[in-house]
Amino acid sequence: MHSYDLSPVECEILLVVVMDKLMLCEAYDCIEIAQYISNPRLSSTAVIKYMSKNKPLYKKRIIFHQRVTQKNLLRDRVLLLDPSLVKKVLDINESPLGKNILATTEKDLLKQIKKRAKLIKLKSHLVLSSEKLDTIRKINARMFNFHFNIEVTMENFPRWQLSRCLLSMNYNECRTILIALIGKHMGWFDSEDILFTRKGLSAACAKISGEFSPLFDEDITYLISNNWIHAANNSCSTNQLGNIKQQCF
């Protein structure tokens, strides 16, 4: 952290964000992150200001804001983190760009996706049963690195059909949903598995048991509106969000 020349408060914020990404604490948005900062001289509002776009954490591209809208107050914004920081915390050695490439052929990339699809299915089942929280955290950490590495791979092979598909996904959650459904399409899993219900896919995107993403319906709506996925009975449209909650995909 010394290389970024951050203040003590900024270092604490960064530590909380890293711990959240590793599932070691629960700090979903800026207001939750602020609650972990123990500085009697600063209010939560003052801490949150350290996460704004005109402060070092953002200007140095250490953190990013997810899904910013005019109605989205800073306190409610979800923070994204430079993946290289998590890799350093996990004591993963810095490596040449080539070592982050998952595959050099589309066939091999599909094999890598199959492995991750199996992890997504396992996580979904564990979250729904509230079992093995340590395993869920490990899967989350592995998937975080996977999303980083798959972006590197696809950027190096942009003409692959899978690259055109997965690179268009704006968020890791959308990509997780799509990979799960690729598993269904490829016949890797039973099409009746609970993973392919709204509840199952929501669990696959959850941080830990009982912590489902409030943005899940937005992710599903985005994927449907862009014709990446559809309801199993093909009757779901983006203006039928109420129906989405009852659908299989």
pLDDT at 85 > cutoff 80 = no
Grade residue 29 by pLDDT with cuts at 50, 70 and 90: confident
pLDDT at 83 > cutoff 70 = no
Grade residue 68 by pLDDT with cuts at 50, 70 and 90: low
pLDDT at 188: 92
pLDDT single digits (tens) 199-220: 888 888 887 655 566 667 777 7
Question: Which whole number is the average pLDDT over 20-42?
Answer: 79
Locate 69 and state its tokens. Answer: 């809208």
Question: Which whole number is the average pLDDT over 179-198?
Answer: 89
pLDDT at 154: 81
pLDDT at 84: 67
pLDDT at 241: 42
Mean pLDDT of the chain: 77
Closest residue by Cα to residue 117 from 11, 39, 190: 190
pLDDT single digits (tens) 161-181: 888 777 767 567 888 888 999
pLDDT single digits (tens) 115-174: 899 999 998 898 888 777 777 777 877 787 787 778 778 878 888 888 877 776 756 788
Q: Which of 54-68, 71-85, 167-181, 192-206 has the lowest mean pLDDT?
A: 71-85
| pLDDT over 90 percentage in the chain | 4
pLDDT at 78: 78
Q: Which residue has the higher pLDDT, 109 or 140?
A: 109
Pick the most confident of 77-86, 154-163, 224-233. 154-163
Grade residue 22 by pLDDT with cuts at 50, 70 and 90: low
